[in-house]
Structure formats: structure tokens, C-alpha cells
Amino acid sequence: MAYIMGRKLEEISDELMDDYATCCETFQIDPFSQAYFLGQCGHESAGLKYAIEWHDGSNYEFRSDLGNLEAGDGVKFAGTGWLQCTGRYNHQRFSDYLKFLGKEDPSIMEIGKTYTAQHYPFSISGFWWHDNKMNQYCGTIPTVDSVGARVNGRYLPKLLALIWSHLCITMLPFIRE
């Protein structure tokens, strides 16, 4: 993981790798889809450096398409996790899912992005991936750019996502041993 993301080995904690393993198992992200998933995660988070969006989220205030209906929602629920999941809607869906599993964690909704980024950076991303049927989509062997368009809601050329996805495709057999 450190090699793929261009990070030092000591920057990738055991807890982070545990969250990744749990994410892939829970959301059944197969090795092929993992290449797309990690490519997008690498791009969105600058190689797993930023689990919280750079912008404060004030531009997301009262965005009904993100479920941000209350004052402060934009900042509280700005992009979080390695895929930068944004909005009250995505946080609530993830929180509801954990509750369904018997792992209720009210801090997700009470604290928002800072808590989720610290405790669930891969899991909230994996949940979004699963909830949006990205595993099935990746099974159609789409371009990396089209995967990025689904992740972002619009097309954005992503040379870095392409590079990270290629690294994942070539490295995953070695990582899984």
C-alpha cells in the first residue's frame, strides 16, 4: 500500500490496513475492483495523505443534492474518507448501515467529517463504493476516467487516478500474498 500510494512504510499504520481489509471484506471489493477503488482513493486523497477535503465545505451549505439541509451541514459533512464522501446524506447512509450491523456509532453524525476521517477512512469510502454499485460497474471494465466521473458526479480527467490504478493492477497480486 505504501509503495502504491507513494508513501513511506511507517506512514501506513496497521490500523489503516485493518480498516482496508475490513472494507474489502465487508463490501466484497474483489482484487480487480480494488485496483479501481485504490486508484480513485489515491487520486481523491493525494495518495492517502488527506482523509478530509482541503476546502472547508462551506460551498456545500444547503446543497439538497447532498442532503445538506441544516445550517453547518456543508462544513460538518464535507468530503471525508479516501474517496472524499460528501454530504449529510452519505454520512447518514453510512451511519445507518453501521447501526444495521449492530455497530451503531452516533459520533459519525454528531461530529461529522473529522471523526469519520479518523475512524473510518476506508470503510466510509467502501460503503459509498458498495452503495453505488461500483463493483458491478468495474466488472464492465470501464475506463479510469469513467469511474472517476461516477465517483465525482461529473467527468474529470484523472491522470493520477490512472497511474494509481495501473500500480494497483500490477501490485495487487503481491500485496494479497
How far, in Å, CA of 164 to CA of 147, rounded?
A: 13
| CB-based contacts of 4, cutoff 8 Å, min separation 6 | 38, 42, 164, 167, 168, 171, 175
What does the pLDDT look like over 35-87, one tens digit per residue? 889 988 988 898 899 999 988 999 999 999 999 999 999 999 999 999 999 99
pLDDT at 175 (0 to 100): 41
SS3 label, residue 85: strand
Looking at this protein, which amino acid is placed at residue 177?
Answer: E
What pTM, to 2 d.p., does this model score?
A: 0.86
Q: Which domains does the chain have, with CATH numbers?
A: 2-175 (1.10.530.10)
- pLDDT of 141: 86
Q: How far apart are CA 152 and CA 131, in angstroms?
A: 15
For the stretch 20-43, pLDDT in tens is 999 999 999 988 888 889 988 988
